Chain A
Amino acid sequence: MKMELDNLTKQFGAFTAVDHISITMSNGVYGLLGVNGAGKTTLMRMLCTLLKPTEGTIYCNGRDIWEMDSDYRRLLGYLPQEFGFYPEFSVQDYLLYIAALKGIRPAVARKRVKELIMKVGLAKEASHKMKKLSGGMKRRAGIAQAMLNDPQILILDEPTAGLDPNERIRFRNLISELSEERLVLLSTHIVSDVEYIANEIWMMQEGKIMHQGTAEQIIASMPVAVWECLVEKQMVSALTKRYKVSNLKTEPAGVTLRIISGEKPCEQAKRADITLEDVFLYYFGEKAGDEDVAI
């Protein structure tokens, strides 16, 4: 499976959401990182044929996906950021309906739905109405619908948004498990989601892919260092004004700061290992608030 994005651009009036992206993907997990509004969802919607590009195109194994039409969507599984469903349908009916939408024959669909319900841990809730499920369960039903046609291309837009930490880890592991022998594109603004499961990470900002590579390559490419230092409380304000602080922890002896800087920020600072989170903050720091970088 090979996907090529050729000069892909999407404009909404004067606003350019996706700006001339040219990139190639093959089987593996791709993590799309960026703050809210970076253009991740627009890019994914174009990959799912939900939006037509203003310029450029997308090829799947050398064929234009809009010309392929349903032949392309047959290969596709998509979990949107705002995962909507039919509230009065039971989990089973919902999945059977989506299976019908995906052109899966009823007999095969019943078998596949049963398997996936087991796999995502919703066996007990199979006959429950969708509206009665918790947020995590809804997301699991969402991944199940995306997997119904055993897609070769799996696109997950912010799949862990709104989940509690336990559910997020569980969900991440599920995605990892499902990602074998297919192309998975996972967008998030939560760094740890991609750090563990993505083979390649794309860092997106203002509609462009600014950095790409493995987690290690991206970390290695950061031109500055990360420092940790324990300082007195009254020094914190001055240091946060001067440097990008990726973490701040109050302790009895003072405050431990994690600072991203090309220079040693204070006498007692010690170099620390750089994490993907530090890189994210370094590149997107101006836009990323605390919430965006928090794990």
Chain B
Amino acid sequence: MLRYEVKKVFSRTGSKIALLILTAAFALTVFLAVGSVEYVDEQGNSSSGIAAARRLWEDKNKWAGEINEDVLLNMLAKNREINASAEYLSSDYMENNKAYARKQGFSDIRDMMNYAFTAFREYDYYRVDSVTDEEVGSFYERRISNLADWLESDEAKDMYSEEEKKFLLARYQALKTPFYYEYADGWKAFTEYAPTIIMLTVLILGFPISGLFASEFQWKADAVFFSAKLGRNKAVRAKIGAGILIVTGIYWMVVFLYSAVVFGILGTDGADCAIQTGLGGWKSFYNITYFESYLLIILGGYLGSLFMLTLVMLVSAKTHSAVISVTVPFALLFIPSFLSGISVLSKVLGLLPDQLLQMGQAVCYFNLYQTGSAVTGAVPIIMTLYPVLFFVMLPVLYQVYRKTQIK
């Protein structure tokens, strides 16, 4: 019966079109992800692709290892040397590119320095150029002191409770230093474009899934379905099973292919590096590696997809309308974006299911939740909350559909 339910879904023209669109969206996202890693050669020319990634890997891995004071001093010296070169001082951008070509090997370390030596909410690309050798020793302390200063600033002092502030500082202090560093651009590219492909997968899957419980009504096959022996029990379970199977199958196929292509081209080096070694993860209070972040992204994406698309099934079972139910993922993904400017809602928005589809970003947000004296971030909550809601929805979906009356 499950086979027929899946067949019914994919026999619809709309479902076939949705799969074609998903294929095109996948190709475009992979192209953007792979293209996001650029290499500038000695002549100042940019390129991307396998060869470019390979050369960037060679340059960056010259700096692989623990980022201790010696490495930072070495980087500062190298930076100063390049800053004094004719290429760097030239007004010709191609000459500047040649200078950058010599800096790109330590560009990640340079970015971290820029963050460490500017205020918490600021970023100055040229700050590293004025960092002195004497200051370098405070690199890791500054990450913590910057946060502490910000938490006491007018902007943030009332934003968090004392327990939350302590929690954040404790998380910062718990991060293992010195950082281990190596080329990790494959993980960074994956993380940057993962929300795009995961969200597109959910939005596009909404179309076939919305028809799963509505097609009987659309095709007027409801009377035969519900008057059949298993129409109000096993057949309903088969529909739910087909929905979960389709979501699971397509989601993991997309994630597997996306991972395979991105990592196949850009490499999997840097899996054990902390996400704080990258520009986006520097401020995160989640002390995890790129590999752990990857697991969070793909698992969070799966849980979010399951939740949202089960909700689509539930709305479809209740309303008997594919048109209404297909709007559910759009509402869940886009309404939070419209509300994101309202600061009083930030705590609520941090717990909405769209966060599961963008875990790479969720681990960088300062969404904190306090119960008594216990403080936690949004990620553990949403990773627990939505699987529970998913399991709660299943019997509700079953009962709603099996009790359908045909008027």
Contact = CB atoms under 8 A, between A and B. Distances in A.
Interface in B155-175: none
Interface residues of B, number: 28
Contact of A97 (B4, B226, B406): B4
A168 interface: no
Given A101-B229, A102-B228, A102-B229, A84 B223 contact: yes
A88 B12 contact: yes
Given A83-B224, A85-B219, A86-B8, A103 B406 contact: no
Interface stretch (A21-29, A30-38, A70-78, A195-203): A70-78
Given A74-B229, A78-B224, A103 B219 contact: no
A87 interface: yes
Contact of A101 (B7, B11, B12, B230): B230
A98 interface: yes
B231 A73 contact: yes
Nearest to B233: A70
B229 A50 contact: no
A293 to B, nearest CB: 27
A260 interface: no
Contacts of B233: 69-70
Contacts of B8: 86, 89
Contacts of A279: none
Contacts of B7: 89, 93
Nearest to A101: B228
A93 B8 CA distance: 11
Contact of A100 (B4, B11, B224, B406): B4
B220 A82 contact: yes
A101 B219 contact: no
B220 A51 contact: no
A130 to B, nearest CB: 10
B95 interface: no
B113 interface: no
Which of B1, B220, B228, B230 has the most chain A CB atoms inside 10 A of its CB?
A: B228
Contacts of B231: 73, 101
Interface of A: 12, 45, 48-52, 69-70, 73-74, 76, 78, 80, 82-89, 93, 96-98, 100-103, 145, 149
Interface of B: 1, 4, 7-8, 11-12, 215-216, 219-235, 405-407
Given A70-B230, A100-B1, A101-B224, 4 more contacts: A49-B232, A84-B216, A86-B11, A101-B229
